A and B are shown apart, each in its own frame.
Chain A
């Protein structure tokens, strides 16, 4: 099974809804009660606390304030469902038991809210190989008065040791570097996409040569009345059939070469 992060986003509260039933009725027959764990990286270790049990067919939502007070503010809490309790201290991110589905993956609802509204998507995260890389085209910037746009890069790795890598944002058509930022592993790194000079007809290209991440695109009106949360898929999703992951390699090689060092 995968991990389910509680998201962080500007001027909003993250929450995650867990479901203890499989997402389809043909891939897995499972009706077991499960432990609910929260895992986070702290001082070069993975820490885990049990936060209860979830009966079969039960649904429960967690925000940061629902978690044990021992969890430091600012870390990325990772929820999980397991048949047995996880060790409290680990040098490597705990492996979760083989209760999983493929089409689709067993997901949670990951959302953020303001006092006025909320937005969410069905998601999960598994540890990325390190160092890894990222290439994503981001057409989700919204342009209008009072709109704020953010890129949220979600990463977890097996190692709890903190590292950073550089994210570069380009105009894909002009091959023009717009900005550089740092991204952290085992965290949700928030990057403002406003003020970079993009227009509605531009296609932003975001790359990281040394770290993989799930790119989320979060937009909000400054009064918090309207929120939007989107994510792109790995470039392998651009093609169907055949060696889809080879296509992803070709795309990364092409664009990394085109963008230079």
Chain B
């Protein structure tokens, strides 16, 4: 009974919560933001893991591509750049 009440409460929170794989709007959040810290003492790198490839056999995997979006803060304004990897 307690689980039912909890599920009902959660349903109010999650009902029709918008989720999408390919957002139509550039400003739609689809991921966490990751800080690229660049200074004399910090180096930043990102590792990408092909999650879908983990569910396939080695012979079925092929080259995949990802797009990096960089949000640059310059003089309190945001600029967006994308890079294909």
Contacts and interface: CB of A to CB of B under 8 A. Distances in A.
Contact of A251 (B10, B13, B19, B55): B55
B47 A139 contact: yes
B55 A26 contact: no
A203 B47 CA distance: 10
Contact of A27 (B9, B54, B55): B9
B49 A203 contact: yes
B54 A238 contact: yes
Contacts of B10: 27, 102-103
The secondary structure that dominates the B interface is helix
Given A247-B55, A250-B55, A26 B13 contact: yes
Interface string A214-252: 000000000000000000000000101100000100110
A137 interface: yes
B6 interface: yes
A220 to B, nearest CB: 17
B9 A26 contact: yes
B6 A102 contact: yes
Contact of B13 (A103, A137, A241, A247): A103
Contacts of A241: 19
B28 interface: no
B51 interface: yes
B82 interface: no
A27 B49 CA distance: 34
Interface in B1-47: 2, 6, 9-10, 13, 19, 47
Given A26-B9, A27-B10, A102-B6, A137 B55 contact: no
A27 B55 CA distance: 35
B48 to A, nearest CB: 10
Nearest to B55: A251
Nearest to B50: A203
A251 B51 CA distance: 11
A254 interface: yes
Nearest to B45: A200
Contacts of B54: 137, 172, 238, 251
A98 B6 CA distance: 12
Contacts of A238: 51, 54-55
B19 A240 contact: yes
Nearest to B56: A254
A240 B14 CA distance: 14
B2 A139 contact: no
26 contacts: A26-B9, A26-B13, A27-B6, A27-B9, A27-B10, A98-B2, A102-B6, A102-B10, A103-B10, A103-B13, A137-B49, A137-B54, A139-B47, A139-B49, A172-B54, A203-B49, A238-B51, A238-B54, A238-B55, A240-B19, A241-B19, A247-B55, A250-B55, A251-B54, A251-B55, A254-B55
Interface of B: 2, 6, 9-10, 13, 19, 47, 49, 51, 54-55
Given A102-B6, A172-B54, A251-B54, 11 more contacts: A26-B9, A26-B13, A27-B10, A102-B10, A103-B10, A103-B13, A137-B49, A203-B49, A238-B55, A241-B19, A251-B55
